[in-house]
Structure formats: C-alpha cells, structure tokens
Structure 1
Amino acid sequence: MLIYKTNILHRPSTSELRYLPEGPYSCNQGCISWVAIQNGTDAKVGSLNVLNLERDENESFAMDGRPGFAYPTDVAGVFVVGLERQVKLYNTATGECRGISGPVESEVEGTIINDGLVFDEGLIFGCKDLEFKTPKAGLYFWRSSDRQLFQLRDDQLCSNGKVITRDQGRWGFLDIDSPTKRVVAYELDVDAGVISDPQVILDFTSRVDIPDGMIGVPGGQSVIVAFYNPADAAFGEAVQFRLADGEVEAVWRTDHSPRVTCPQLVRYGGGVKLVLTTAVEGMSPDQLGRHTNAGCLFWGDTDFDTVGEQPVFKLRG
C-alpha cells in the first residue's frame, strides 16, 4: 500500500467558497472546474468555479441556487449543471442559465440535486435529503438522445460518488449513497431507462468516516473514494480500492482538513496528480482553528500516466 502526502493546490479566497467545494473536473487546457455547493450553513446559493492550475487563479460564477455538479460541454464556456432540482446549461461568457430538463423530485420536499456523472448516453445524477434523515431522494438517468428523464430510485439519503462501467456492451455504474457506507453496482438498461437490483461491491461500515465522491482509475480495476470525516481528525483521506477484493492500494492524506469531498485525476506539474476538494461544512470555530486547511483544494502524486476518461457533455450532434 502506498501512502501519499498531499499539498495545497488552492486556498479559496472567501469563507463562502471554502464551505463546501466538490466536483473537480478537467475542463480546458491547464484548468479544472469545481463547484461550491452552498455559501454557508443556511445559504441557498453557491457557485461554479474555474481554476487555472499553473497561475492559481480562480474565476467564480455565482449560481441562482445550489449546484450539485457541473461538467464542461463541447461548447466552449458552457457547462451542464445540476442546480437545485433541475439540469441546466450555464454560459460563463453571458451568464445565461437555461433548463434542459423538467424539475425533478416533484413528489417530495426538502431534496436537491447533489452529484452526477457524464457518459456517452447522457447523465446519471442523484439527490440528497437536506436533513439527512429520510430515504426519499431520487436517482435519475437523463438520456441525451431524446432528452428523456427517468427516475431510477426514490429512496436515497445522500447520493454521491458515481463511476460508469461497460461490460460486454452493457452499461452500468457504481454508486454511493453516503449514509449506507457502501459502493453498489447497477446494470443500466439505456433503452428502457431502468436499473438492476444493486450489488454491494465495497463495504465501509467499519470506518468512522463517510464515503463521498468517487472516481474510477485508468484500467477500470480500482476506484478512488474521498472520505468525509465529521470527527475531529488530524487529516482527511482519499483511498484507492481494488474492486475485485476491496484491497487498499493507496491512500492520500490531507493535513488539517478532515472532510474530503471529491477526488479527480488531472494533469499538473508535468504529470498526473490527484486533486482533492475538502470542506469546512459543520465545523465549529474551535475546529476551524485546528483544521487550518479545511476548504482547500489539495494535490498529490500518483503512479498513473493518464487521467482516464473524463468526457464532456455533448451539445453538438
């Protein structure tokens, strides 16, 4: 098992941006995008951010709501965003934000979109119960061929990390509903818009911390999971697990920042690095005094020579 020390990549300039960063993703040459889901404990707005890695310059775009995810499209400067209860397109040049799906979660209250992934057939995304109490949040598939929306589940608490899979021509995905502390696998029938029963792939119920964001690694045999630690830990962790048997292959630690939210592989500094977002969310003033790097973005070395698949959302035919 390899243990990597990480370094601070970017310290967001405001407490609002440090509150709940998530979703780093390669978006253009030398840049990554990420979202600040909300600007504080009671805030109902957040932002889309684009960080120039070499210059450590961050451009922030205020959202009219809380963005659970944002991904670049094949149109420069346009992102697909899961905002509150709707999937929208946001143009960073003009500020235009328009819906491409109808609202979700019409049968329940107190949920918003939280995480998602882009793949060849469209989007898979999930929601969270804002009180983290009731398993009522939905899991959805938005099919790009006809812009049809399918609800796959209606009983999640806090939908988080997702990884697309492909086996003998059949689509599937790995999924984390954070409070369950498990990674489960589904087969996805794209034509019918339904999923199989879940199969537990990784079980983290013996851990104190909570699985949050997740990515697949090149080769498809392992995943990297970010762990959000609500306790007063000295560091946070992201861990690489082999899917076949759950073996821990590598660990990245974020000093003085225990609440790691999302991982992503990016090209930086002449190689492939792991970028990790971390959060301030839920910390008392005393904890903030101890966890001085909370809310920062970190980078760590890897032994990968490629970042793997990071598709853009396709708007052009």
Structure 2
Amino acid sequence: MEQQKWKVVLDHTCLLGEGPVWDAASQSILWVDIEQGEIHRFSPEQKVHKTMKIGQMVGAIAPRASGGLIAALQGSFATVDMEKQTLHPIIDPEIHLPDNRFNDGKCDPAGRFWAGTMDYISGKKGAGSLYTLHTDMSVVTRIEGVSCSNGLAWSADHRTLYYIDTPTQQVVAYDYDPESGDIRNKRVVITIPASSGYPDGMTIDTDGMLWVACWDGWRVSRWDPSTGKLLQDILLPAAKITSCTFGGPGLRDLYITSAKTGLNAQQLKEQPLAGSLFVIKNTGFTGHLPFAFKG
C-alpha cells in the first residue's frame, strides 16, 4: 500500500473526530466529533453528509440491531435516532464523577456495548473505567483505574479482547468469554514506541492483525498481536490520528478519523487537513462488520 493513496472523504473537519463505524445497511460511514457533540454520517456513493447535534460531548456510537444507534455520551449511555434526531438517555454509571466523560466504545460479539471513560478536565491518571452496557440496560464495570480508555477489538474466534489505555503505550489482550462478557488473564501484546505517538483507536482485520491509530504520531500502524511486531506504517497529513475502521465494498477501505483540537495557529497552518476524515481505498486487507447492540 503506497502512502499517497490516502484521500480526504469530504470537505469537513472535526475538532475531535473519533469512533468511525461502517453502517452496512445504509452503506455509510459514521463518526463522532467528541468536543463539538456531533454525530456524522456520510454516504460515499450518494455523497450525502448528515449531522446530528447532540448538545453534549459524545464519545462513541455503534449500530443498534433494532434500528438507530447506541451511544456513550458525556456521562450517560443513550439510544440515538439520527432520522428523527432524537436521543434517550439510559444510565450514567459515573454520575458521581463530573470531571469524567466517555471516550471510545464498541459492541462485542454478543451485542453488548463496551465504552470507557477518562478525566477530561485535569487528565487525572487512573480516574476512568471500562464499562459494559448489557442488553437489559444494566451496567457492569470491567476495568478500573483507566487513564484514557480507547481502542477495542475482538479476535475472529471471539475468545480474545484487545484493549488500549492510551498513556500505557500498550495494547493488552484478555481472555474473553462471549457468553458472560467476563475477561481475565491480562497480558501485553504490543508496545507502541513513543516516537510513533500514543495508541488511540483500533480495528482488526480478517488476518487477525491490529490497526492502531496514533495520536501525535501522524500515522496508523498495522501490528501482529501474536508477535508484537510492526508490519506497516501509514503516514497521514495530520498529527492527531484518532481511530480507524474498515468499510466500503467488501470492507476493504480503511476510514481514518483525526483531530485539530489543541493545535496552535502555526500547527493549523501546517496541518490544514487536521480533523478530516480520510480513506485509503482497496487496502488489500479486509475488515469485519461491526457488531450491533442487541438491547
């Protein structure tokens, strides 16, 4: 894959673009602008861009089997209907932690929604947690003491969960029980060098390789979790690369989100495409359809 193959998907930049997810039903890419409190949807074929303003920060979204989306907002889990432009809060597991907000999230193979938190006011270390929203709308705490909850991915056999807490510079793996959602046996599978930036969002391909977006790293990197080896670096025209996912025909295109939050005037001048949604067409690799929330 040649570096110059990236393209800008549409003429829109986010302050903090994140959480891309492919919607097979509408053949659209969805993503969020966390700090602007927006959900975006774009149809590559029809060239239609739709935005829903949430009115608060939104950390992550995922498709819902019964229609619409499940979302992790600033504090609460919620259901979202982009067609009707409505949202319905479900539960706030951190109502006692007003400095925290949800960050990244995905659904697991059983249709539960996993999302984690972080302290967005002072960046206090270990202030966040990773939660699971069950299909009966109850919440379980999976991991405590998280500083910046980020990438999630499940292996093809649904027996391994990969997870990123950004400041650790690591991707860790857990044994995962699809029936209960329980995780155990934490181990480090990848260590991201500081020179590559901070590991952020993540996706997995059908070869079982992990694609990690690197904040302040100008790149997405492909890694082998069985060996910890770097397989490929894809350089991009923005420093703050936040996440990636496969979509498009045959799930062969890689969609990549980025951010411009915190950039000064000189950096914005040097990175005019910061905050863009990028795509690399026909990567030569194939992704998985996202799991949908079954609640």
Normalised to the residue count of structure 1, the TM-score between the two structures is 0.84
- Counterpart Cα distance in 2 of 1:37 and 1:109: 16
Return 106-115 or 286-295, whichever deviates more: 106-115
Alignment correspondent of 1:248: 230
User: CA 1:246 to 1:188, structure 2 compared with 1: closer, same or farther past 3 Å?
Assistant: closer
The equivalences for 1:189-228 within 5 A come to 189=177, 194-220=182-208, 222-228=209-215
What's the CA shift for 1:184? 0.6
What's the CA shift for 1:208? 4.8
Residues 111-141 of structure 1 show CA distances to partners (whole Å, capped at 9, x for unaligned) of: 1111111123211111111122321101112
User: CA 1:292 to 1:150, structure 2 compared with 1: closer, same or farther past 3 Å?
Assistant: same
Residue identity matched to 2:40: N
Alignment correspondent of 1:4: 3
What's the CA shift for 1:284? 0.3
Alignment correspondent of 2:291: 311
Confirm or deny: 8 A CA contact 2:196 2:219 kept in the other structure. Answer: no
- Counterpart Cα distance in 2 of 1:189 and 1:249: 29
Confirm or deny: 8 A CA contact 2:196 2:214 kept in the other structure. Answer: no
- Counterpart Cα distance in 2 of 1:118 and 1:261: 18
What's the CA shift for 1:185? 1.0
**Number of aligned residue pairs:** 290
Residue identity matched to 2:3: Y
The equivalences for 1:96-115 within 5 A come to 96-100=86-90, 102-115=91-104
Confirm or deny: 8 A CA contact 1:22 1:261 kept in the other structure. Answer: yes
What's the CA shift for 1:292? 1.1
Work out whether 1:68 is the aligned partner of 2:48.
no
Alignment correspondent of 1:290: 270
What's the CA shift for 1:147? 2.9
Alignment correspondent of 1:147: 137
Confirm or deny: 8 A CA contact 2:251 2:288 kept in the other structure. Answer: no
Confirm or deny: 8 A CA contact 1:11 1:295 kept in the other structure. Answer: no
User: CA 1:311 to 1:289, structure 2 compared with 1: closer, same or farther past 3 Å?
Assistant: same
- Counterpart Cα distance in 1 of 2:186 and 2:251: 36
Match for residue 273 of structure 1 among 253, 257, 276 = 253
- Counterpart Cα distance in 1 of 2:49 and 2:155: 32
- Counterpart Cα distance in 2 of 1:311 and 1:52: 20
Alignment correspondent of 1:50: 41
- Counterpart Cα distance in 2 of 1:151 and 1:190: 16
DSSP 3-state at the match of 1:19: coil
DSSP 3-state at the match of 1:283: coil
Confirm or deny: 8 A CA contact 1:225 1:240 kept in the other structure. Answer: yes
In structure 2, list runs of 5 or more residues that go unmatched: none
Residue identity matched to 2:8: I
Alignment correspondent of 2:17: 21
What's the CA shift for 1:26? 1.1
User: How big is the alpha-carbon RMSD for the aligned residues of Structure 1 and Structure 2?
Assistant: 2.1
Confirm or deny: 8 A CA contact 1:7 1:254 kept in the other structure. Answer: no
In structure 1, list runs of 5 or more residues that go unmatched: 40-45, 231-235
Residue identity matched to 1:36: D
What's the CA shift for 1:204? 1.2
Residues 97-119 of structure 1 show CA distances to partners (whole Å, capped at 9, x for unaligned) of: 1123x211244341111111112
Normalised to the residue count of structure 2, the TM-score between the two structures is 0.90
Q: Percent identity?
A: 23
Alignment correspondent of 2:242: 261
